[in-house]
Structure 1
Amino acid sequence: MTTLIMFDDDRADGWAPFALTRPCGELIFGRWTLRERLERVARTRVAGHVTRPWLRRYAEPGAPRCLDPDGLFAPCTAWNARAVPSLDAGWSGAPANLWVADRLAGVRLGADAEPPRADWFAAPRPRPGLPDRAVPGAWLRHPWDLVSAGSDRLAADLAAAPGPEAPELPDGCWRLGDAPIRFGEGAHVEPGVLFDAREGPIELGAGVRVRAGTRLGGPLYAGAGSQLLGGHISRFSGGPRSRVRGEVDRVTTLGYSNKAHDGFLGHAYLGRWVNLGAATVNSDLKHTYGPIRVGPPGARRDTGLLKFGCLLGDHVKTGVGTRLETGTVVGAGSSLFDPESPPRWVEPFSWGGGRSPEPHRRGDFLSTAVRVVERRGLEGTREFRDWLGDVWDEARGA
Structure 2
Amino acid sequence: MSMKLLVFDDRDFVHLPDQAPDWGPVADTRAVFSVRTGALTTLERLQREWPHGLAGLWVPNHLIARTRQACTVPVNEAPEPGQTLLCINGRWVFPGSQFEIGPGQALVEQSTGAVVAACLESEQAGFFLEDGALPADVEQIGYAGRLLARRPWELLGLLSQTMATDLPAMIEQSRSGEDACDGSIPDTVPGITALEPDNVWVHPSARIYPSVVLDAEGGPIYIDDRAIIRPGSILCGPAYIGPGSTVLDRSLIKANTSIGPVCKVTGEVGSTIFQGYANKAHDGHLGDSYIGAWANLGAGTTNSNLLNTYGEIMARLRPQAHRERTGMMYLGSIIGDHVKTAINTRLMTGTVIGTGSMIASTAAPPTSIGAFSWITDVGIHPYRFEKFIDVARVVLRRRNLDLTEADVELLRILHQRETAASS
On whether the aligned pair clears a TM of 0.5, the verdict is yes
- Aligned-pair CA distance for 1:142: 2.0
**2:179 aligned residue:** none
Secondary structure of the residue that 1:105 maps to in structure 2?
A: strand
Question: Relative to structure 2, which stretch is displaced further, 82-91 or 242-251?
Answer: 82-91
- Which residue of the other structure, out of 368, 383, 398, is the alignment partner of 2:391? 368
Contact 2:185/2:200, CA 8 A, preserved across alignment: no
Alpha-carbon separation, structure 2, partners of 1:95 and 1:153:
28
- Which residue of the other structure, out of 146, 150, 164, is the alignment partner of 1:155? 164
**1:278 aligned residue:** 299
Contact 2:127/2:134, CA 8 A, preserved across alignment: no
- Aligned-pair CA distance for 1:117: 4.6
- Asked if 1:263 is matched to 2:265, the reply is no
- Which residue of the other structure, out of 4, 24, 45, is the alignment partner of 2:6? 4
- Which residue of the other structure, out of 27, 35, 46, is the alignment partner of 1:19? 27
Contact 1:41/1:88, CA 8 A, preserved across alignment: no
Letter in 2 for 1:271: G
1:67-216 aligned at under 5 Å gives the runs 67-68=75-76, 74=81, 75=83, 76-86=85-95, 95-99=103-107, 104-111=115-122, 113=124, 115-117=126-128, 120-121=131-132, 124-125=133-134, 128-130=137-139, 138-161=147-170, 162-164=173-175, 165-170=182-187, 171=189, 172-177=191-196, 180-216=199-235
Q: CA RMSD in A?
A: 3.0
Structure 2's unaligned 5+ residue stretches are 176-181
Alpha-carbon separation, structure 1, partners of 2:57 and 2:125:
18
**2:263 aligned residue:** 242
TM-score, length of structure 1 as denominator length: 0.88
- Aligned-pair CA distance for 1:237: 0.5
Assess, with a 3 A threshold, how the Cα gap between structure 1 residues 325 and 114 changes in structure 2: closer, same or farther. Answer: closer
Question: Relative to structure 2, which stretch is displaced further, 149-158 or 27-36?
Answer: 149-158
- Aligned-pair CA distance for 1:312: 0.2
Contact 1:55/1:390, CA 8 A, preserved across alignment: no
Letter in 1 for 2:223: L
Count of aligned residue pairs for this structure pair? 392
Alpha-carbon separation, structure 2, partners of 1:48 and 1:298:
30
TM-score, length of structure 2 as denominator length: 0.83
- Asked if 1:315 is matched to 2:338, the reply is yes
**1:387 aligned residue:** 410
**1:217 aligned residue:** 236
Secondary structure of the residue that 2:352 maps to in structure 1?
A: strand
**1:293 aligned residue:** 314
- Asked if 1:33 is matched to 2:33, the reply is no
Contact 2:286/2:303, CA 8 A, preserved across alignment: yes
Assess, with a 3 A threshold, how the Cα gap between structure 1 residues 120 and 112 changes in structure 2: closer, same or farther. Answer: closer
Alpha-carbon separation, structure 2, partners of 1:380 and 1:176:
42
What do the CA deviations read for 1:294-315 (whole angstroms, capped 9, x no partner)? 0046710111211110100111
Secondary structure of the residue that 2:165 maps to in structure 1?
A: helix
Contact 2:107/2:140, CA 8 A, preserved across alignment: no
Secondary structure of the residue that 1:336 maps to in structure 2?
A: strand
Point out the structure with the larger helix share. 2
Letter in 2 for 1:166: G
Structure 1's unaligned 5+ residue stretches are none
Alpha-carbon separation, structure 2, partners of 1:298 and 1:4:
32
Point out the structure with the larger strand share. 1
- Aligned-pair CA distance for 1:28: 0.8
- Aligned-pair CA distance for 1:78: 2.8
**1:232 aligned residue:** 252
Alpha-carbon separation, structure 2, partners of 1:16 and 1:157:
25
- Aligned-pair CA distance for 1:354: 4.4
